[in-house]
Amino acid sequence: MLTIKHHLIKLYTTNCFLISDDQSGEFAIVDPGRCSESLIAKIEAYRKKGEFKYILLTHGHFDHIGGVSDLKKLYPNAKVAISMQDADFLSDTSLSLGRGSVLAHMQPLTPEVTLNDGDVLKLGESKIKFIHTPGHTGGSGCFVFDSTILAGDTLFYEEIGRVDLPTGNGEQMLKSLQKLKNLDGDYTVYTGHGPFTTLEHERKNNQYILKNKII
């Protein structure tokens, strides 16, 4: 069983998460858009219980990856995991959109783990499945475990991520939304920005899922 805690990156209103395995204490951080003292304090509290195993990234935009290089300096054994398609975002600011931002100092990185659709990572004996959901970027994805979806910028509360940025694609986004819609059962959806939602709510209320078109 995995426990999830929310950490808001206020600078970009990005939702960052810490997820930990209840038995082993192993944990991961998801989408650290900025490395702050408050985030480090939370990580240190988790490290008293178990290993910091992964830095998981739903996609490669600067507001989700901006703290990665600083975290890697502090915790070099934590493995960075991102989709194969978005791996280059970690070293190319024209893709991450970090050029000219306050994150322009971010050091280029090569991820230790490149993910493909259906890949499974483990924290202790708990499993986290990666679902490739291109559209916002070519390598956008969701991390799924228990009754939880960490959706990044694929799915928001009654909205979706924009598709007009580098490697974004509207038709791919629609296919990704249908892929999520067709998952069995209901899930709590932890979004990359804004309020959280449920998959059942989005099935009934998200105009992009209902109409299956970019409006």
pLDDT one-digit tens code per residue, 93-112: 899 998 765 555 678 899 99
d(CA 27, CA 18): 7
The per-residue pLDDT for 100 is 66
Given a cut of 50, the residues of the chain with pLDDT beneath it are none
pLDDT tens digits, 199-213: 999 999 999 999 999
Give the pLDDT of residue 101: 58
Return the pLDDT at 103: 59
At 106 the pLDDT is: 76
- Answer CATH for 2-211 from 3.10.129.10, 3.90.470.20, 3.60.15.10, 3.40.50.720: 3.60.15.10
The pLDDT of residue 11 is 86
Domain boundaries, given as residue ranges, for the chain: 2-211
CB crowding 28-41: b at 16 or more within 10 Å, else e: bbbbbbbbbeebee
What gap in Å lies between CA 206 and CA 215, rounded to an integer?
11
